[in-house]
């Protein structure tokens, strides 16, 4: 059930059979959430690390007047901060986009995992580092890119991340976020997301019907986005 988590962590470190068993033994406490539910709320004391096993989720913050910013998307295999329990309280919410299955791993279990397996510890460090890289790339997109560039970039990123865990076939993948979700992630209004999607469709770069995304011309999409996948560190990390 947690094989996508393993798949992700194995990009970061060579795991022995025992490492894998150890991890799987600690992935219990499975929970299910409906779509558009909260896995954790702003202000909560973080007692677990959430491993996303199935479905899409996101990190978000709300401003007083209702403005929402989605800070990151989580897809299967992702962890919500390997060591978040070191902090006293969460300063953001975790919400589901689709129905989601998570494993909640306790502080004690995480510490035990890292103590037992240096490979897992390294994998968790790398997960943190690469999440930070993604966050930086979002910072650049929000600060300096136009709507079209930002959106193209997001789709390129999602395609790469989903491929890395085997959830994209060729140029196609499930993209369950609504236009309102995309707006809150891209710092746009949902109206403008609709128009920008039309532009990308019109230019023959993407197709998006229902929740099914196809990158019809990924090369051109990357050019629009100024997308350079090196920040995702997808190749040759394992040493």
Partner DNA sequence: CGATAGGTTGAGTCGCATCAACCGGGGTGG
Partner DNA sequence: CCACCCCGGTTGATGCGACTCAACCTATCG
Name the residues that contact a second copy, by CB under 8 A. 59, 61, 63-64, 67-69, 71-72, 81, 83-84, 86-89, 91-92, 122, 125-126, 128-129, 131-133, 135-140, 142-145, 184-187, 226, 228, 230-231, 233, 236-237
User: What sections of the chain are H helices per DSSP?
Assistant: 3-9, 17-26, 107-116, 118-144, 147-164, 179-186, 190-202, 218-225
Query: What is the strand order of the sheet 30-33 is part of?
Result: 30-33, 100-106, 48-54
Is 16 a binder of DNA (CB under 7 A)?
A: no
How far apart are CB 134 and a second copy at their closest, in Å? 10
> Residue 105 in contact with residue 59, Cβ under 8 Å?
no
Q: Which does 9 bind (CB under 5 to 8 A by kind): DNA, a second copy, none?
A: none
Which of 8, 6, 7, 3 has its CA nearest to residue 128? 8
Which residues have CB under 8 Å from 95's CB, separation 6+? 36, 37, 38, 39, 57, 58, 59, 60
Is 188 a binder of DNA (CB under 7 A)?
A: yes
How far apart are CB 209 and a second copy at their closest, in Å? 27
Select the residue interacting with DNA from 38, 72, 187, 232 (CB under 7 A): 187
Is 68 a binder of DNA (CB under 7 A)?
A: no
* Terminal-to-terminal C-alpha distance of the chain: 26
> Residue 98 in contact with residue 167, Cβ under 8 Å?
no
| Interatomic CA distance for residues 37 and 186, integer angstroms | 21
* Binding region for DNA (CB under 7 A) out of 88-96, 118-126, 130-138, 177-185: 177-185
Q: Which does 91 bind (CB under 5 to 8 A by kind): a second copy, DNA, none?
A: a second copy
Considering the complex, state which of residue 61 and residue 116 has its C-beta at the smaller distance from a second copy: 61
Considering the complex, state which of residue 36 and residue 136 has its C-beta at the smaller distance from a second copy: 136
- Residue 70: strand, helix, or coil: strand
Select the residue interacting with DNA from 24, 71, 142, 147 (CB under 7 A): 147
Considering the complex, state which of residue 21 and residue 211 has its C-beta at the smaller distance from DNA: 211
Considering the complex, state which of residue 114 and residue 208 has its C-beta at the smaller distance from DNA: 208
Going by the DSSP 8-state scheme, the letter that residue 64 receives in this structure is T
Which residues lie near DNA (CB under 7 A)? Answer: 36, 146-148, 178-180, 187-192, 194-198, 210
């Amino acid at each position: 059930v947690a094989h996508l988590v393993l798949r992700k962590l194995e990009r970061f470190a060579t795991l022995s059979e025992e490492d894998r068993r150890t991890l799987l033994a600690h992935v219990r406490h499975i929970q299910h959430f409906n779509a558009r539910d909260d896995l954790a709320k702003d202000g909560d004391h973080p007692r677990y690390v959430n491993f996303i096993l199935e479905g899409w989720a996101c990190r978000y913050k709300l401003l007083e007047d209702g403005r929402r910013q989605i800070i990151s998307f989580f897809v299967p295999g992702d962890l919500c901060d390997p060591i978040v329990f070191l902090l006293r309280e969460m300063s953001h919410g975790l919400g589901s986009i689709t129905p989601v299955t998570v494993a909640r791993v306790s502080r004690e279990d995480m510490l035990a995992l890292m103590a037992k397996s240096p490979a897992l510890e390294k994998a968790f460090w790398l997960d943190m580092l690469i999440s930070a890289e993604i966050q930086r790339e979002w910072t650049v997109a929000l600060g300096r890119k136009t709507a079209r560039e930002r959106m193209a970039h997001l789709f390129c990123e999602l395609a790469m991340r989903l491929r890395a865990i085997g959830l994209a076939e060729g140029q196609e993948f499930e993209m369950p976020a609504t236009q309102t979700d995309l707006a809150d992630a891209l710092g746009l209004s949902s109206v403008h997301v609709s128009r920008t999607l039309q532009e990308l469709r019109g230019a023959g770069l993407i197709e998006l019907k229902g929740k099914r995304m196809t990158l019809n011309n990924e090369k051109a999409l990357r050019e629009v986005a100024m997308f350079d996948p090196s920040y995702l560190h997808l190749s040759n990390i394992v040493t």
